[in-house]
Amino acid sequence: MRLHSLFLFLVVPLVLGPYFSHGAETVAVDKTFNGREIKVMSGRIIQVQLEEAGAAGYVWEIQDLDAAHFEVVSVRTEPPDKPGLVGGPVKKVWLIRVKEKGYADLQFFHYRPWEGKDKAANTFRLKVRIL
């Protein structure tokens, strides 16, 4: 009986937890999602990961965030995949909580701050349907 109870207490939540969780599960997107639409449940997290050419002065910045639908939880920069590569691209990662049901866009510009977003070298746009 003890072994059965231990199994139910430890193993079942690990296996079934993701199916019954109402927590902030994460939907990860990268540059391959540019221009696409995703469906996300309200309360979930979208992780946007974009490669940044920081050594050349280019940064990714989120533009005109729809505060009714999104909340930026954190922004971080991760080192290059190849350690020791001086001046190599880095990854900028945003964790964005989805709030209210509806349709909204996330848009990012890759530009040099002193040149302005009008001279962006690249853009990233994600259409989000919030359920």
Give the pLDDT of the chain (131 residues) as one tens digit per residue: 544 444 444 443 443 333 333 445 889 999 999 999 999 999 999 999 999 887 788 999 999 999 999 999 999 998 777 666 667 788 999 999 999 999 999 999 999 999 999 999 999 999 999 99
pTM, full prediction: 0.76
Helices (H), the chain: 2-20
- What b/e string do you get for 1-24 counting C-beta neighbours within 10 Å, with b at 16 or more? eeeeeeeeeeeeeeeeeeeeeeee
DSSP symbol at 101: S
DSSP symbol at 61: E
What CATH class has 24-130? mainly beta
Strand bridging mode 102-111 / 59-63:
antiparallel
